[in-house]
């Protein structure tokens, strides 16, 4: 029979939070709590700081930055889909120099932990980005967005090839300050995400961020043309969460000592809790920010109540908890009651 899942309500704003140690570690990187923004959904921090104190969450992840300014792809760039959205922004941004002149100093003045997301089309671009960021004291961690076309290999995406992924991570790791952790952001559009994750770690990644968006396409049935100007786009939102949880589960099971940042359709504390049970040490919130800019602290508060409700006194005990061996099933009162009921089909026969 189907069992009901217990869902913990977020609680009122005036209700005191349970005393739980919500700190987490990602290798040598210590965070006050596991909540982060997802790259591309919160700009460079100023946009969200008017809705909540960005220093209240574990870290802010910037929009992916490239060497040169980019205008992005043709419009329209976004389209709603069932339980999600497609985006085809095209990594629009000011370029690394403008970012380091204007945005990083502001983030440092706010005192936020900053994970800078970088993207490039060649290994050399990734290397140069890492070299530039090495000069800034504002960078807490680097997230390497390898879901970019590799122009040196006929446009193949770095994240879909183990050798290419490892080469990029090796270049970034060698050019990043040793004290700054480097995370590889993995694409789900691969046949073996564990193999790609292992290749990134072999290349020097300190941890893995997963998952990036899934490649999708939507067609406007009135115009009979694709919705997006760029034809295809990245699918995000609640629709991708089971895929993301599966990926985190697989990689944590194969690489239990590698820190994982989980993301994909997180809307509330229950969703975040699920990722951590699967093996994530921290989580990123993205698409839901578009309709609720205050989502990160709201979800963090909800997660804290859920952790306490399950009897945990510290968050780190939740990480990978779903991988523990299954205990011998103990019949519940409901199971015993069902077993005692007469077989109606047999009685009528």
Just list the catalytic residues: 148
* Rounded Cα–Cα distance for residues 248 and 321 (Å): 13
Query: Which DSSP category does 168 fall into?
Result: H
Q: What three-state secondary structure class fits 261?
A: strand
Number of H helices, E strands in the chain: 11, 18
Q: What three-state secondary structure class fits 182?
A: strand
Which residue from 181, 79, 91 is spatially nearest to 130, judged by alpha carbons?
Answer: 181
CA 9 to each of CA 35, 111, 135, 268, 298: distance values in angstroms, whole numbers, following the listed order: 19, 31, 45, 10, 12
Which residue from 180, 183, 247, 179 is spatially nearest to 213, judged by alpha carbons?
Answer: 247
* Rounded Cα–Cα distance for residues 16 and 265 (Å): 27
As a whole number of Å, the end-to-end CA separation of the chain is 23
| β-pair type (225-226, 35-37) | unpaired
Q: Exposed, middle or buried by CB within 10 Å (0-12, 13-18, 19+), for 304?
A: buried
Q: What three-state secondary structure class fits 82?
A: coil
Neighbours of 191 (CB within 10 A): 7
Q: What three-state secondary structure class fits 39?
A: coil
| β-pair type (35-37, 84-87) | unpaired
Neighbours of 71 (CB within 10 A): 8
**58 φ, ψ (degrees, to nearest 5):** -55, -45
């Amino acid at each position: 029979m189907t069992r009901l899942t217990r869902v913990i309500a977020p609680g009122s704003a005036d209700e005191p939070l349970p005393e739980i140690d919500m700190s987490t570690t990602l290798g040598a990187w210590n965070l006050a709590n596991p909540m982060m923004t997802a790259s591309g959904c919160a700009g460079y921090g100023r946009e969200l700081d008017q809705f909540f104190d960005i220093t209240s969450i574990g870290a802010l992840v910037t929009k992916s930055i490239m060497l040169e300014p980019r205008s992005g792809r043709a419009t329209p760039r976004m389209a709603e889909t069932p339980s999600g959205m497609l985006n085809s922004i095209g990594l629009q941004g000011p370029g690394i120099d403008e970012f380091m002149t204007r945005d990083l100093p502001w983030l440092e003045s706010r005192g936020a932990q900053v994970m800078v997301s970088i993207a490039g089309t060649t290994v050399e671009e990734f290397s140069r980005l890492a070299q530039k960021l090495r000069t800034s004291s504002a960078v807490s961690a680097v997230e390497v967005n390898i879901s970019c076309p590799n122009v040196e290999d006929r446009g193949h995406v770095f994240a879909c090839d183990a050798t290419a992924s490892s080469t990029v991570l090796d270049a970034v790791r060698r050019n990043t300050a040793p004290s700054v952790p480097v995370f590889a952001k993995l694409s789900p559009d691969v046949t073996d995400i564990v193999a790609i994750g292992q290749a990134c770690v072999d290349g020097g990644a300190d941890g893995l961020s997963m998952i990036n968006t899934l490649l999708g396409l939507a067609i406007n049935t009135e115009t009979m043309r694709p919705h997006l100007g760029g034809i295809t786009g990245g699918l995000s939102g609640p629709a991708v969460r089971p895929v993301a949880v599966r990926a985190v589960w697989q990689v944590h099971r194969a690489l239990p000592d590698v820190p994982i940042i989980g993301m994909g359709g997180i809307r509330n504390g229950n969703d975040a809790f699920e990722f951590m049970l699967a093996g994530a040490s921290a989580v990123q919130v993205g698409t839901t920010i578009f309709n609720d800019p205050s989502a990160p602290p709201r979800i963090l508060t909800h997660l804290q109540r859920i952790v306490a409700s399950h009897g945990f006194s510290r968050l780190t005990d939740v990480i990978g908890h779903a991988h523990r061996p299954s205990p011998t099933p103990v019949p519940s009162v409901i199971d015993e009651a069902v077993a005692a009921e007469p077989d109606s089909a047999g009685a009528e026969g």
